[in-house]
Amino acid sequence: MRIGVLAIQGDVREHLQHVASAGAQAASVRTVSELAQVQGLIIPGGESTTIGMLMQEEGLIEAIQKRVAEEAFPVYGTCAGLILLAKEVIGKSPARLGLMDIVADRNAYGRQVASFEAPLTIAGIPGETFLAVFIRAPQITKLGPDVTPLAYHQGQVVMAQQGSLLVSSFHPEMTPDIRVHQYFINKVAQPIVRNATGAS
Amino acid sequence: MAEKQQGTFTVKAGLAEMLKGGVIMDVTTPEQAVIAERAGAVAVMALERVPADIRAAGGVARMASPRIVKSIMEAVSIPVMAKVRIGHFVEAQVLESLEVDYIDESEVLTPADDQYHIDKWGFNVPFVCGARDLGEALRRIAEGAAMIRTKGEPGTGNVVEAVRHLRQVNAQIRLVVATPDAELADLAKELRAPLDLVRRVKELGRLPVVNFSAGGVASPADAALMMQLGADGIFVGSGIFKSSNPDAMARAVVRATLHYNDPKIVADVSEDIGESMPGIEMATLSPADRMQDRGI
């Protein structure tokens, strides 16, 4: 399976390495034609304003929206990616996908001095706790009825899923642990890709 | 394991990772900060004057007034950085109390200590420092810097020093990678850098933190040049707001940085953006005017 990492800006390299370590083929996606060649997409951490603006100029916002609507295209957004996937954003709103039924509060954890790391228990990821890195992180303040929370930190939802869409406030690519990427590839993307090829 | 840890090196270096592929712009007013954010800058550097004006004004250049820094922090949602004088740890304490997102311990300001840099491990806020070569970069990382920028020569609008410093760092990294383990200790001594960091460079084949290019970028093609030479991102100091059309220049530099490998796009964004800042030829600078030689 070929998983793309949106390569406009941010920590693209770390995501590409994690995708490859998790056993999928990793590819950078900067254009609509590169998007057509992947079976799932990760939107990395970075500046959501910058990424959203340049996605729009490249025509990537419409192209991703279309694939999600037509074929339940798997998309995982980390941090900035969460903001870009959220239907509603508190604070200044960048151009974005607006696909997932959540409300995101930008930089709700505070400025950089408040950034932190903490161990999490994640539903669907057994074994030891996962060391999550939060950097100027957004909070998910509301979840729609179809959204499943997967992890909490101090009572706050920090990872959630809605069908083919996955989001986390934290950066699983910042530590060597690849289990969140494995979850996205094997539990979110794989079943959708298998269904699609089975049906055709 | 603790429930929550702040100010770790992972968290400090992590913010720099999120800025990769982006442009950080010097701004002196909230209005300029908004122009930078709208153009797609990933962060702004809050300053009292841009380097070209610091050069022109002469005298002692210090940390910006907290009023300027705060007004810029209120104006934009992207990260805000600010500069302190080399070794001036109290200016750094002041900026940390304002909760700026990154501190630049910068040779653009007049050094406050001609021997020691700030002990950056003691702060929760991360630091970026300038370097002209690998040894300098690793000494700053040993002091706790979580991000490096090659220095170039600030406020000149002349990219030649930025190119020299990035090429120098890259050449020395290649040398470290090619050096047998048994000879690394000697190389570390020559570089005046800690051995463990030299080993880490060999392991990774790059600096252990993000490395941006600074000091002389004044056009979209300059930005793409530094990216093709291997910079993780670009600092533009005077190059935006000393150009004839800052709005257009800011947008063009951001797009050239993103599409640095596509000359057609670089050509496209370079049209109709007005004039770049007037530049300074290096040979006309006296030794006292060279900011890059401060804090090595």
Mutate to test the interface with A, among B77, B104, B147 (most CBs of A within 10 A): B77
Contact: A8, B21; criterion CB under 8 Å: yes
**pLDDT band at A55; cut points 50, 70, 90:** very high
What is the CATH class of A2-189?
alpha beta
Contact: A117, B78; criterion CB under 8 Å: no
How far is CA B27 from each of CA A49, A81, B31, rounded to the nearest angstrom? 18, 27, 9
Give A-chain residues touching B79 at CB under 8 angstroms.
Answer: 47, 111-112, 136
**pLDDT band at B2; cut points 50, 70, 90:** low
Other Cβ atoms within 10 Å of A192 Cβ, number? 17
Residue B86 pLDDT: 97
Q: How does pLDDT run across A15-46, given as a tens digit for each residue?
A: 999 999 999 999 999 999 999 999 999 999 99
- Rounded to the nearest angstrom, the minimum Cα separation between B82 and chain A is 13
Strand A2-6 and strand A40-43: the pairing is parallel
Residue A199 has pLDDT above 70, yes or no: no
What is the rounded average pLDDT for all residues in chain A? 94
Contact: A47, B125; criterion CB under 8 Å: no
Mutate to test the interface with B, among A5, A6, A9, A16 (most CBs of B within 10 A): A9
Q: Report the percent of chain A where pLDDT is more than 70.
A: 98
Contact: A46, B1; criterion CB under 8 Å: no
How far is CA B117 from each of CA A66, A162, B121, B147, rounded to the nearest angstrom? 53, 49, 12, 15
**Interaxial angle between packed helices B195-204 and B134-142, expressed in degrees from 0 to 180 and rounded to the nearest 10:** 120
Distance CA B149, CA B235 (A): 8
- Count of helices and strands (H, E) across chain A: 7, 12
- What phi and psi, each to the nearest 5 degrees, are found at residue B247? -55, -55
Q: How does pLDDT run across A71-91, given as a tens digit for each residue?
A: 999 999 999 999 999 999 998
- Rounded to the nearest angstrom, the minimum Cα separation between B280 and chain A is 31
**pLDDT band at A197; cut points 50, 70, 90:** confident
What is the rounded average pLDDT for all residues in chain B? 96
Q: Which contacts qualify for B31-36: CB closer than 8 Å, 24 or more apart?
A: B31/B75, B32/B241, B32/B246, B33/B72, B33/B75, B33/B76, B33/B80, B34/B75, B34/B76, B35/B246, B35/B247, B35/B250, B36/B76, B36/B78, B36/B240, B36/B250
DSSP B218: -
Q: How does pLDDT run across A96-137, given as a tens digit for each residue?
A: 999 999 999 998 899 999 999 999 999 999 999 999 999 999
DSSP B272: T
Contact: A112, B77; criterion CB under 8 Å: no
Domain-wise residue ranges, chain A = 2-189
Whole-complex ipTM: 0.93
Alpha helical stretches, state H, chain A: 12-21, 32-35, 48-57, 60-71, 80-85, 179-182, 190-199
Nearest C-alpha neighbor of B197 from the set B266, B268, B136, B115: B136
- The full 3-state SS of B90-143, as one line of letters, equals HHHHHHHHCCCCEEEEECCCCCCCCCCCCCHHHCCCCEEEEECCHHHHHHHHHC
Q: Report the percent of chain B where pLDDT is more than 90.
A: 91
Helix, strand, coil share of chain B (percent; to 5): 50, 15, 40
Residue A200 pLDDT: 45
By CB neighbour count within 10 A (0-12 exposed, 13-18 middle, 19+ buried), where does A154 fall? exposed
How far is CA B6 from each of CA A114, B147, B172, B275, rounded to the nearest angstrom? 7, 17, 33, 44
Catalytic-residue membership of B264: no
Residue B278 pLDDT: 87
Lowest-confidence pick of A138-142, A166-170, B25-29, B278-282: B278-282
**pLDDT band at A198; cut points 50, 70, 90:** low
Q: Kindly state the average pLDDT of the residues B103-126.
A: 97
Lowest-confidence pick of A61-65, A171-175, A196-200, B1-5: A196-200
Option in B10, B42, B99 nearest A50 (CB): B42
Cα dihedral A178, A179, A184, A190 sign: positive
Contact: B11, A12; criterion CB under 8 Å: no
Q: How does pLDDT run across B37-55, given as a tens digit for each residue?
A: 999 999 999 999 999 999 8
Q: Kindly state the average pLDDT of the residues B254-268.
A: 95
Residue A92 pLDDT: 80
Distance CA A184, CA A190 (A): 8
Residue B1 has pLDDT above 90, yes or no: no
Give A-chain residues touching B43 at CB under 8 angstroms.
Answer: 47
Q: What is the interface size between A and B, counted as CB pairs within 8 Å? A: 120
Residue B148 has pLDDT above 90, yes or no: yes
Q: Kindly state the average pLDDT of the residues B270-278.
A: 92
| B interface with A, Cβ–Cβ below 8 Å | 1-8, 10-11, 14-15, 17-22, 37, 40-43, 77-79, 96, 99-102, 124-126, 254-255, 258
Distance CA B296, CA B293 (A): 7
Distance CA B60, CA B182 (A): 46
Strand A156-162 and strand A148-153: the pairing is antiparallel
